[in-house]
Amino acid sequence: MLQKVVRSTVIDEPIERVWAVLRDFNSHDQWHSVVDQSRIEGQERSDQVGCVRSFTLKDGNRIREQLLTLDDREHKSTYCIVDATVPLQRYVATVTLKPVTDGNRTFWHWESSFATPPGMERELRDMVATGVYEAGFANLRQHLGLGADLLPRGAPPMPTALPMASRRAVLHTYGGPEVLQAEYAEAPAPGTGEVRIRQRAIGVNYFDVYLRKGWMPGMLPLPGTPGMEAAGTVIDVGRGVNGLLPGDRVAYLGPVPGAYCSVRSVPASWCVRLPAAVDDDVAAALLLKGLTADMLLRDLGHVGPGTRLLLHAAAGGVGLLVASWAQRLGATVIGTTSSEDKARVAREHGCQHVIVTRDYRFADEVQRLCGGADVIVDGLGDAAREQNFAALAPCGHWISLGQATGGLQPLDPNLLVQKSATFSRPVVFAYLSSPEQLLARTQRLWAALADGSIRKPVIERYTLDAAAAAHARLESRQSVGPLVLMA
Ligand SMILES: NC(=O)c1ccc[n+]([C@@H]2O[C@H](COP(=O)([O-])OP(=O)(O)OC[C@H]3O[C@@H](n4cnc5c(N)ncnc54)[C@H](OP(=O)(O)O)[C@@H]3O)[C@@H](O)[C@H]2O)c1
C-alpha cells in the first residue's frame, strides 16, 4: 500500500522570495540541514525538467531524484526518487506555493506518496514528515529569515546574513595544472554594492594559466582561486545595489580573480543581466573573450574593409571570435594555428588564409600573401617577437594581447620606427571601466551573436572539480574554441 505524507506551513515572506529558492532543484544543500552535498548530473541546469540531483545526507545516505515538472506560474514542482540507499520506493513528491492574501506571505504545501518494505511504514512516514518536511520548513525559514537569500530591491541587507558553502578550485602553491584542487570554502554574504551569485558556468581563460603559474603573485596571492568571469543566478544583494534582483540571470567579468567556485559575491558593477537567448554556458564562454574581441577590433585595430589582420591562435577562444567578427567587418584575416585540424576550424570561422606552424615561423608567408599585416593580434608573446615585427606592414599596429609562450621582452622604440609601427599592450578590464562601457560592449556582443557576426561557440565543458584537466587541455595546444567549467 502506498504511504502518503502531507505537511504545510506559512512562511512570512513573499511568494517570489520563497519560490526563488525552491524552484532551484539544487539549492537544498544550502538550506536543508539534513542535506550534505548536492549536484546536478550531466551538466544540466537545475531548473531543467528531467534533470537529476544526486546528493548525500548528513547521515551518509545517498539519493538521486529527478525533477518531473516545474511550473513558475503555479509555483509548483514535482519530483521523484530515481534510486536511493534509503528504502523509499516509488517516492513522488509535490511542492506547491500559494500567496497568502492576508499579508505578503506564502502558504507552502509539501506532499508525497511512496511504498516501503513491510514493517517500516511508520518509521519512514515519520522520517519524511518530520525529518524532511517539517525540518525543511524550519530550515528554509531560518535561511530566509537570517538573510541568506533574497532581498527585495533597495532593502538593507539582513544584519546576520549567513555565509554559504561554495565549492572552489584553489591553489596552495604555484605550478602546473595539478596544483588546482577542489575544496569547500565559505561564500560570504554580499557586502555593500555586491551581489552573491550561484554560479553555473565559469569561463576558462589563458590568463588563468599565468596566474596559476605564479607570474602575477600580487594579483593571486596564495592560497588563491583563479578565474575572471562566470554566469549564474543572483541569490541575494547587498546594500546599495540597484537594478539587480535575486533570481536575475547574470554574467560578470572583473579584474580580481576568484571565479572558479560555485557561489561568489562580486561587485554588482561587474555584472550584466543575461538575455533569455544566452545560456549561462554560452555567456561564460563568450563574455570576456567577446569583449576582448570588441576592444581589439573597434578600439585598437580600427578594423574595417581591407584591413590585413594577422591573428595568432586563430582557433582559440579569443581567436575564433576575432576571426569571424573581423571577416564580417570586411577584413582579410590571416590566422596561425599549430595543426591542420585547427586550421580547418579557423577557415570555417572567417580566416581567408591559415599558416600552420608550431614554431612561430609565419612572417615570410604573411608578406607573400598580403604584403604585411596592418594589425597583428598577438597572444603568443616572446617566442614570436621577431617574426611579428617582420610580418608587420609599414605603419602597422602590433597588439600584444598575451604571452602564451612567455613574457615579451621590452621593445626598443627604435625598432618600431623602422616601420613607423605602433604597439599596444591592452588589458580588457581597462576598457570596461564604467557601467556604460560594459553595457555598450556587451550589447554589441549579443547583437553580433544574434546577427551571425560571431557564431554560438562549440564549448569544451569540464566540471569545476576538473579545473586541472581544463588547464592541461588549454596548455596542450589541442583545444579549439572556449573551455568552460560547470559548477
Ligand atoms: N590582454 C587581455 O585583456 C586579454 C584578454 C583575453 C585574452 N588575452 C590573451 O589572448 C590569448 C588567447 O587567450 P584564450 O583564453 O582565448 O586562449 P586560447 O587562444 O584558447 O589558447 C591559447 C592558444 O595559444 C596558442 N599557443 C601558442 N603557443 C603556445 C604555447 N607554447 N603554449 C600554449 N598555447 C600556445 C595555442 O594555439 P595554437 O596551438 O593553434 O598555436 C593555444 O590554443 C592569450 O594570450 C590570452 O592571454 C588577453
* For the chain, domain boundaries: 3-145, 164-286+432-486, 305-425
Q: How many CB atoms lie within 10 A of CB 447?
A: 11
Question: How many Å lie between the centroid of ligand 1 and the Cα of residue 13?
Answer: 48
Give the pLDDT confidence score for residue 149 in this predicted structure. Answer: 39
Question: What residue owns the CA closest to ligand 1's atom 46?
Answer: 402
Question: What residue owns the CA closest to ligand 1's atom 20?
Answer: 316
Q: Which of 477, 480, 483, 485 to mutate to test the pocket of ligand 1 (most atoms within 8 A of CB)?
A: 477
Q: Which of 204, 205, 206, 400 to mutate to test the pocket of ligand 1 (most atoms within 8 A of CB)?
A: 206
**What is the Cα–Cα distance from 487 to 204, expressed in whole angstroms?**
13
Long-range pairs for 326-330: beta carbons < 8 A, 24 or more residues apart = 326/297, 326/301, 326/350, 327/351, 327/352, 328/448, 328/452, 328/453, 329/297, 329/303, 329/304, 329/305, 330/304, 330/305, 330/306
Instruction: Specify which residues 398 forms β-bridges with.
Output: 376, 423
Name the superfamily (CATH) of residues 305-425. NAD(P)-binding Rossmann-like Domain (3.40.50.720)
Q: What is the b/e burial string over 450-479, where b = at least 16 CB atoms within 10 angstroms of the residue's CB?
A: eeebbbebebbbbbbbbbbbbbbbbbeeeb
CATH code of 164-286+432-486, in short, is: 3.90.180.10
Question: How many Å lie between the centroid of ligand 1 and the Cα of residue 318?
Answer: 8
Question: How many Å lie between the centroid of ligand 1 and the Cα of residue 379?
Answer: 5
Give the pLDDT confidence score for residue 377 in this predicted structure. Answer: 98
Question: What residue owns the CA closest to ligand 1's atom 23?
Answer: 313
**DSSP summary character for residue 30:** H
Pocket-forming residues, ligand 1, beta carbon under 6 Å:
205-207, 289, 292, 313, 315-319, 337-338, 342, 379-380, 401-402, 404-405, 426-428, 474-475, 477, 479
- Residue 189 — left, alpha, or beta (φ > 0 → left; ψ -120 to 50 → alpha)? beta
**What is the Cα–Cα distance from 143 to 151, expressed in whole angstroms?**
12
Please identify, by atom number, the ligand 1 atom nearest to the C-alpha of residue 207: 47
**What is the Cα–Cα distance from 416 to 235, expressed in whole angstroms?**
51
Give the pLDDT confidence score for residue 145 in this predicted structure. Answer: 67
Which CA distances in Å does 343 have to 210, 314, 357, 453? 25, 8, 10, 19
Which CA distances in Å does 329 have to 185, 240, 343? 45, 40, 21
Say whether the peptide bond before residue 223 is cis (omega within 30 degrees of 0): yes
Please identify, by atom number, the ligand 1 atom nearest to the C-alpha of residue 358: 41
Please identify, by atom number, the ligand 1 atom nearest to the C-alpha of residue 318: 16
Q: Which CATH number, 3.30.530.20, 1.10.150.110, 2.115.10.20, 2.40.30.270, labels domain 3-145?
A: 3.30.530.20
Question: How many Å lie between the centroid of ligand 1 and the Cα of residue 458?
Answer: 17
Question: What residue type is 184 in one-letter code?
Answer: Y
* Cβ pair 271, 195 in contact under 8 A: yes
Three-class SS state of 337? strand
**What is the Cα–Cα distance from 309 to 370, expressed in whole angstroms?**
10
Q: Which of 216, 318, 349, 432 to mutate to test the pocket of ligand 1 (most atoms within 8 A of CB)?
A: 318
Q: What is the b/e burial string over 193-224, where b = at least 16 CB atoms within 10 angstroms of the residue's CB?
A: ebbbbbbbbbbbbbbbbbbbbeeeeeebeeeb
Q: Which ranges of 185-339 does DSSP label H, i.e. alpha helix?
A: 206-213, 280-294, 317-328
Strands 263-267 and 194-204: antiparallel
Provide the grid cell at 180.
588546482
With cell 529558492, the residue in question is 21
Question: How many Å lie between the centroid of ligand 1 and the Cα of residue 156?
Answer: 43
H or E element in which residue 3 lies: strand 3-11
Strands 460-463 and 483-486: parallel
Question: How many Å lie between the centroid of ligand 1 and the Cα of residue 212?
Answer: 15
pTM greater than 0.75 (yes/no): no
Question: How many Å lie between the centroid of ligand 1 and the Cα of residue 293?
Answer: 13
Question: What residue owns the CA closest to ligand 1's atom 25?
Answer: 313
Please identify, by atom number, the ligand 1 atom nearest to the C-alpha of residue 314: 40
Question: How many Å lie between the centroid of ligand 1 and the Cα of residue 380?
Answer: 6
Question: How many Å lie between the centroid of ligand 1 and the Cα of residue 381?
Answer: 9
Question: How many Å lie between the centroid of ligand 1 and the Cα of residue 241?
Answer: 35
* Cβ pair 110, 7 in contact under 8 A: yes
Give the pLDDT confidence score for residue 70 in this predicted structure. Answer: 96
Question: How many Å lie between the centroid of ligand 1 and the Cα of residue 430?
Answer: 19
Question: What residue owns the CA closest to ligand 1's atom 17?
Answer: 206
pLDDT tens sequence for the chain (487 residues): 899 999 988 898 889 889 999 999 999 999 998 898 999 999 899 999 999 999 998 888 889 999 999 999 999 999 999 998 888 999 999 999 998 876 778 899 999 999 998 888 888 998 899 889 998 998 898 888 644 334 333 333 333 356 678 899 999 999 999 999 999 888 888 999 999 999 999 999 999 999 999 999 999 999 999 999 999 999 888 888 888 888 889 999 999 999 999 999 999 999 999 999 999 999 999 999 999 999 999 999 999 999 999 999 999 999 999 999 999 999 999 999 999 999 999 999 999 999 999 999 999 999 999 999 999 999 999 999 999 999 999 999 999 999 999 999 999 999 999 999 999 999 999 999 999 999 999 999 999 999 999 999 999 999 999 999 999 999 999 999 999 999 9
